[in-house]
Amino acid sequence: MNRQHWENIHATKAPGQVSWYAPHLEVSLQLIDRVALSRTASILDIGSGQSTLVDDLLARGYSRLTLLDISQAALDATRQRLGETAPAVRFLATDITTASLPPAHFHLWHDRAVFHFLTAPEERAAYIQQLTRSLKPGGHAILATFGPQGPTRCSGLDTVRYDAVTLHRQLGPGFRLLQSSTHLHPTPSGATQQFLSCHFQFQPLTAPTK
């Protein structure tokens, strides 16, 4: 992934000026609520950017939250916004495809809009390896990508569009698809983007590599 590209975006644009902005990630929150996790469950938010998901999860009482984003500027802005609650959150400024993550650690993996930017097969393979290595057996993955009618470019970059079948095929047989839906996301500029949101449960065919 292009670190400098995302650093420039987050350093020069306010949250409400980017196409993926939403005041609250309602679809993600609904799916997380359906999982009914313990409030001490370990949650990883991939490509967290400056989203308010962390604010809403903290307000719900979740206490083990990790935000991962390739942009240090995005994480710094989120840390500043959280103020006195920021020390309760772990911040990781890194590329998910090369990040150093603890094995079999997370109960929930959330990604609203990173996977569809991985246009190279080797990037997707590295991402999925990270997912299968760091998610606990029986853990959950909530992934959102552009849907079949979503844009083919976003923020100046090419994207890959998915339906539930093709996204499930990417993750492989170790994941069981529990729920999928599409919805239209209104951008701040007044356009709409079709998103696909999927909820998977991790059921590894073999023990995770440590």
10-residue block means of pLDDT along the chain (210 residues)? 78 71 90 96 96 97 97 95 97 97 98 96 98 98 97 92 98 97 89 95 73
Amino acid 69: pLDDT: 97
Amino acid 179: pLDDT: 97
Are residues 97 and 119 in contact, defined by beta-carbon separation less than 8 angstroms?
Answer: no
Amino acid 23: pLDDT: 83
Whole-angstrom Cα Rg for the chain: 16
Structure tokens at 71: 């942009």
Structure tokens at 4: 């400098």
Amino acid 207: pLDDT: 54
Amino acid 12: pLDDT: 78
